[in-house]
Chain A
Amino acid sequence: MTTATLPVYTKKDFQTDQEIRWCPGCGDYAILSAVQSVFPELGIPREKFVVISGIGCSSRFPYYMNTFGFHTIHGRAPAVATGLKISRPDLEVWVVTGDGDSLSIGGNHTIHMLRRNVGLKVLMFNNRIYGLTKGQFSPTSEMGKKTKSTPFGSADRPFNPISLAIGAEATFVARSVDVFQQHLKETLKKAAAHKGSAYIEILQNCNIFNDHAWESLTEKDARSEHVVQLEHGKPLIYGKNRDKGIRLNGFDLEVVTLGNGITEKDLLVHDEQHPSPEYAFMLAHMEQRPGFPAPIGVLRSWEDVPCYEDVINSQIRDVTAKRSPGDLAKLLRAGDTWEVRA
C-alpha cells in the first residue's frame, strides 16, 4: 500500500505562499478551502496532483495549490490535461474552469473530454458572469440579463451545464455550492473516487459583478425549500419540514406534498447509477420549471465505461505484445529496399 509510506498531509501542505488575488468575499475562497481540505484525505502523494486551468478568475486556482500546476490558455485546459493524462495515467489531474472558460470558448474541448471519458476531475465554477473581464454576460447568464455588453438585456438562452454534460455522455455529473462546505467536500471526494471524467458544477457567487446570483438557493431561510439534495438510494425529499417530494407521473416528474395518502414510498428513489441518461436529464432540468427545486449532489455516476487513457495505453501494450517492441533499424528498412554496391 502506498498509504503506508505516505506522509500525513494537512490542509497547510496544499497551500502556497502566493498572495491570493481574488476579490474579498469571492466564492472562490470557499472552493479553494474545500479542495485544500479534501486533497490531504485522498491518500495520494502530493507530487502526483496536477491542477490545470484555463483563463478567468477561477483559473488562478493552480497558483494557490501547492501541487504541480499549469495555468494554460482560455478554454484549453481539458485538452492540455488530456495530453498529460494519456501520457501519465498515474497522475491525479484536476481541471479548474469557469462558465465562460468551459462552456463558451472551451465548449468544444469540454464535450469531447466528456465523451472520451478521460480520467480528469473538472471543477466548473459557475457564477453566471464574466468576472475577469469585468461583467459581461456568460453562457449561463439568464436570458434578458442586463450587463455591460447587454445594456438592453441578453438575447442568449443559457446553457444548463449539468444537462450539457449528461448530453455529452459524461460518466460523472454532480453539482454543489460554494457555501455548502460539507456538501462540497463530500462531492469532491466522490468525484475523486470516480474512474473517468468527473464534471462538477459548483455554483459560485461573484459578489462584484453578479452578487446574489444563487441567493434563492443559498439564503438560509429559503434553501431547504428550493434545493433537493440527491442521495443515492434515498427518496427525493426536500422542504423545511421535509414534507415535499418528487415523484414520477407518466414520463414526467411532479412535485408532491407528503400526507393525504402520499407517503415516501410514492417518491422517486435516487439512482445515480441508472444506465440510461433520461432520468438524470429530468433532474437536471427541474430548476428551469416553476415550482420545482434545484438539484444538488451526484446526478449521474456511471462506472461501466472505460477511461480513455486506459484504452489508449492498453492498445499500445497489446500491439507491442503481439508484434514485439519496435526495432528502429527494421522500421527504417521496411518495404522494398535495394543495395547499391561500391
Chain B
Amino acid sequence: MIRFCGDSGDGMQITGNQFTNTVALYGNDIATFPDYPAEIRAPAGTLPGVSGFQVHFSSHDVYTPGDSVDALIAMNPAALKTNLSDLKPNGILIVNLDDFGETDLRKAQMTSSPLEDHSLDAYRLFPVELTKLTRASLKDLGLDNKTVDRCKNFFALGMCYWLYNRSLDTSLRWIEDKFKSKPALAQANRTAMQAGYSYCEATEAFQVSYEIPPAKLAPGFYRNVSGNTALAMGFVAASQKAGIPLFLGSYPITPASDILHELSTYKNFGVVTFQAEDEIAAITSAIGAAYAGSLGITTTSGPGMALKTEALGLAVAVELPLVICDIQRGGPSTGLPTKTEQADLLQALFGRNSEAPIPVLAPATPGDCFWIALEASRIAIKYMVPVIILSDGYLANGAEPWKIPDVSQLPEIPVHFETNPVNFRPYRRNPETLARPWAIPGTPGLEHRIGGLEKQDVTGNINSEPLNHEKMVRLRAEKVAGIVQDIPDVVPAGDPSGDLVIVAWGSTHGAVTAALKAQREKGRRIGHVHLRHLNPLPKNLGEVLGRYDKVLVPEMNMGQLVMLLRAKYLVDAHAYNKIQGKPFKKSEIENKIEELLD
C-alpha cells in the first residue's frame, strides 16, 4: 500500500492514477482512494490544501484501499503532518527535503522540523531533494522554474516505479498522449520520471526494492474503472440494449460531474447531455425526454437531490421511466463536497411529500456501478417508474480492475411503446407489472393528458374522489413493492448461518469483505449480506437474518439502514456508524465484530 500526498497543486491525483494504471496493467489487484480538498487550490503548503491518493495493490484479492500504508510520499510538511498517522511502523517515508524550510514548517503549524527532532524515528525516512534534483535533471530543457517544479511529482513517481520494480512504459505512453501538443512538457515529465528512477538505481538510497507478483483474478479481459466511469458506460449500454436514445439532464456538482463529462463524449452513441440551468431543470428536462421516449437520467449529489425532490414526485405521479443517480457526499447542506458518506438513504426512500414510493439501488463496488446502471434502467422501463441509484464519493472516484463483459451477455431491456388507439387508456395497467403504457407524443390516436394532479384509475382523467385517491396511492405502492418478484434473493457471503451476519450496502463492501475473510480465518462463523436493492428489499432477507444470532449493520451515517431493518423485520440489529467523510477500515469492522462476539 502506497500513498502519495502533497499540496493540491502538486499533481498527486495524477501521480496516484499513473501508479494505479501501471500496477493494474501488470496484473496486480488494486483498490484506490483519492482524497482531495474541496478547495481547488487552498493556500500552498497549508494543512487544508493537502491532497492524497492511496493505492492498494497486491498479488491476492484486494477489497479496500487499505487501512494503513507501507509507503508514504509526502511532498511537504503539511502533507506529512496530515498523513503520518496512517503509515505503518517501519514504513517507507519519502519526503521532499527542499520543502522543509522554516516557512514551510510554519504553514503546517509545526514548531520544529520533524526531520531533525527524532519524531520520525519509527519509520524508514528518506529525505530527498526532490525540487533540486528535478531542476538539475531538467536544466538543459530551457524551461522556467515554475514549469520545472511542476514535474517533481513525476520524479517521485519514477522513484516509486524503481521501488516496486515497475516498468515506466504505461506512464511514458500516457505522457506522450497527454502532452501531444506540448512536446516540451512531454519531454520534461518524461525526463523527470526517468531521472527519479535512475536516482534510486544510482544512489542505492533504498536498500531493497519490492516484487509484487500478479494477482489471481478470474480469466478474462480487464481494465481499470472508477465508479463514475462505470455508471456512464452502464447507461450507454442500457440505452443500446433498450434501443432508445440516452438523455442526461445534469447540473455540475461534486462528486457527480464526471458522469456528465464522460457521457458528453459519447455523442456517436446518440447520447444527449444537457447541462441545465439548475438541478430542477436537470431532472425535469430528463422527465421531458422520458415523456418523449428516451431513457431519461439525471446525476447529482445530496444538495442537488434535495432540489429535485418535487420533480421526483411528479415522475412518480405521471409514471414515466427515469433514473436518478445520487453520488452521496458528506452533509448536511454543502457539507463535505469531496468526502464520502451514505447518509442519503432515507432521503432517497422517503424524502418526498406524501406517499411517493421509488425503487432504490446501490452499487457495491466501482465496477458494479456498470451493472447497477443497467439494472436501474431495466426496472425503470419495465415498471414505468423513477429509480434512484445511491452511489457515493468513494465508489465514484475509487478504481478497481473490472472484468470487461461480453456485450452479447448483457441483459436485454425490452421497450414497448403503445401504438394501438383502440380503447387506449393512459392509466390502464399491465396486470403483471402494474405498469401503465408508455404512449409517446407523435403517436396518432393516442392524444391524452398527464400531470401531477391525481388521476382517475384507468382513464387518467383528473379526479379527486376519496376512494379513487386511496386506490391510486395503493396501486403505486403495490407496483413498486411487486418488483421484489423480479430481483434476486440474497445469498450471504461467508457462512450461510452462524453467530453474526453483517448487513451492509454501497461502498462498505470492500471493508466488510476483507474483515469477514480475516475473522472467518480466525474461526468465527459469520455471514455478509450486501444489499444492492434497498427498495424493495429482497424477499428472503428476513429469513436470512433469522439464521444468525446477531446482526451488525455498519454504515457511513447515523444508522439509516439499521433503522429500516429493525422496523421491518423486528430484529435487534446493532448499528456501527462512522461519519468522518472516510470509508471504513477493515480493522474497524473487525474490532466491532470482536466486540460483539467476544
A residues within 8 Å of B by Cβ? 16, 18, 45-50, 52, 62-63, 65-73, 76, 79-88, 90-91, 108-109, 112, 312, 315-316, 319-320, 322-326, 328-329, 331-342
Indicate if the CB atoms of B292 and A87 lie closer than 8 Å.
Answer: yes
Beyond A336-B223, A340-B219, A342-B219, is A71–B245 a contact (Cβ under 8 Å)? no
Beyond A109-B277, A328-B407, A340-B27, is A68–B447 a contact (Cβ under 8 Å)? yes
Contact of B288 among A48, A81, A337, A341 (CB under 8 A): A81
Q: Chain A interface: which of B76-84, B233-241, B546-554?
A: B233-241
For residue B217, CB closer than 8 A to chain A, the reply is yes
Indicate if the CB atoms of A83 and B222 lie closer than 8 Å.
Answer: no
Indicate if the CB atoms of B284 and A79 lie closer than 8 Å.
Answer: yes
Name which residue of chain A comes closest to B232, CB basis.
A331
Interface of B: prevailing SS: mixed
Indicate if the CB atoms of A340 and B277 lie closer than 8 Å.
Answer: no
26 A-B Cβ contacts within 8 A?
A: A47-B441, A47-B446, A47-B447, A50-B441, A63-B451, A66-B447, A68-B441, A70-B449, A72-B452, A73-B313, A76-B311, A79-B276, A79-B281, A82-B281, A83-B285, A83-B290, A84-B291, A84-B441, A87-B288, A87-B289, A109-B277, A320-B270, A326-B268, A328-B269, A332-B233, A336-B21
Indicate if the CB atoms of A71 and B266 lie closer than 8 Å.
Answer: no
Interface size class of B (residues with CB under 8 A): 35 or more
Indicate if the CB atoms of A333 and B314 lie closer than 8 Å.
Answer: no
Name which residue of chain B comes closest to A333, CB basis.
B404
Specify which of A47, A91, A320, A341 lies most central, judged by the most chain B CB atoms within 10 Å of its CB: A47
Q: How far is the CB of A340 from chain B (nearest CB, A)?
A: 5
In Å, the complex CA distance between A325 and B271 comes to 11
Indicate if the CB atoms of B444 and A73 lie closer than 8 Å.
Answer: no
Contact of A338 among B25, B405, B407, B445 (CB under 8 A): B25
Within 8 A of A (CB), among B287-301: 287-294, 296
Q: How far is the CB of B197 from chain A (nearest CB, A)?
A: 20
Indicate if the CB atoms of A108 and B277 lie closer than 8 Å.
Answer: yes
Name which residue of chain B comes closest to A75, CB basis.
B280
In Å, the complex CA distance between A90 and B292 comes to 11
**Which B residues are in CB contact (< 8 Å) with A342?**
219
For residue B221, CB closer than 8 A to chain A, the reply is yes
For residue B414, CB closer than 8 A to chain A, the reply is no
Indicate if the CB atoms of A70 and B280 lie closer than 8 Å.
Answer: no
**Which B residues are in CB contact (< 8 Å) with A109?**
277, 280-281
In Å, the complex CA distance between A48 and B440 comes to 10
Name which residue of chain A comes closest to B461, CB basis.
A18
Beyond A18-B461, A328-B407, is A47–B287 a contact (Cβ under 8 Å)? no
**Which A residues are in CB contact (< 8 Å) with B247?**
83, 86-87
In Å, the complex CA distance between A336 and B222 comes to 9
For residue B253, CB closer than 8 A to chain A, the reply is no
**Which B residues are in CB contact (< 8 Å) with A90?**
442
**Which B residues are in CB contact (< 8 Å) with A325?**
268-269
**Which A residues are in CB contact (< 8 Å) with B249?**
83
Q: How far is the CB of B206 from chain A (nearest CB, A)?
A: 27
